[in-house]
Structure 1
């Protein structure tokens, strides 16, 4: 079994879409380890604040099949992949696939977002503090402690 870590985000009816996507992930992959949930401003475009979290699960499926499954869940939630930047009903990004370093032009793990965005690194550091980044070997706790948080505000929320 391989542990997969996925970043999840939504800024269109996020409570509804996050709950639905979590249900679909659990139905397809089984038990989920879910991080705390955060809101943050949209990055790279003007739009409503995003709700972001990180989810981990184990699978015996190949990386391409997992990626296809994530895209199916996005599509079921109404995700329009036509534009790269813009509001989203659901964004599911594979961050890690075990400790693999993989790039086929479509799937890239570890995903660069881990080292670039607070809304990815903080929840990852919370659910996997001692795990190590496959590229640089540092723990996610260490990476978060050294991360420049200026300009990337996060507010923890609950969907209850």
Structure 2
């Protein structure tokens, strides 16, 4: 076993369909998946339909870079278009936010902890399912980070993903 990966999942193009399929693929490849509630949040960085975001925890037999490559292939299989602007509509977006207590910076585009952890749509779902996990470099748990987040009092709407 290589390690425990904490993932952020999002979609704003047929989000329920793509997120359910991604969760099924994660279960088929890695076994048990701990899944957060899904939240509907506004697009960040561009005008577009709301996103549905969730978090997942998997035990991975892959190191971070091969896992990231596997996740990119899963995104591509769901029609992810990387040719447009960085902030744009997404059929599927899955990022490794944390991987055990590792810190990776500058290894290609893979950065762990993921800088997007500062956004409520990444932090809130992770804090729901892993409140006591300490974010490397911060010395604080996900719950502590969420407790002081500027959006902590914002009511984020939950969204059902069916049997996911």
Q: If the length of structure 1 is used for normalisation, what is the TM-score?
A: 0.94
**Cross-structure match for 1:15:** 16
Secondary structure of the equivalent of 1:69? helix
Counterpart in the other structure of 1:141: 143
After the TM superposition, which of the residue ranges 98-107 and 5-14 deviates more from structure 2?
98-107
Please state how far the C-alpha of 1:105 moved relative to its aligned partner: 3.2
TM-score of the superposed pair, with normalisation by structure 2: 0.92
Mapped partners of 2:154, 2:112: distance in 1? 23
Please give the root-mean-square deviation of Cα atoms over the aligned residues, in Å.
Answer: 1.5
Structure 1 regions of 5+ residues with no counterpart?
Answer: none
Cα distance between partner residues in 2 of 1:15 and 1:89 = 10
Q: Is contact 1:41-1:48 (8 Å) kept? A: yes
Q: Give, in whole Å, the separation in 2 of the partners of 1:129 and 1:151.
A: 17
Q: Does 1:113 align with 2:110?
A: no
The gaps in structure 2 that reach 5 residues or longer are none
Structure 1 residues 98-109: aligned runs within 5 Å: 98-103=100-105, 104-109=107-112
Displacement of 1:96 after TM fit? 0.8
The separation in 1 between residues aligned to 2:110 and 2:161, in whole angstroms, is: 30
Q: How many residues align?
A: 159
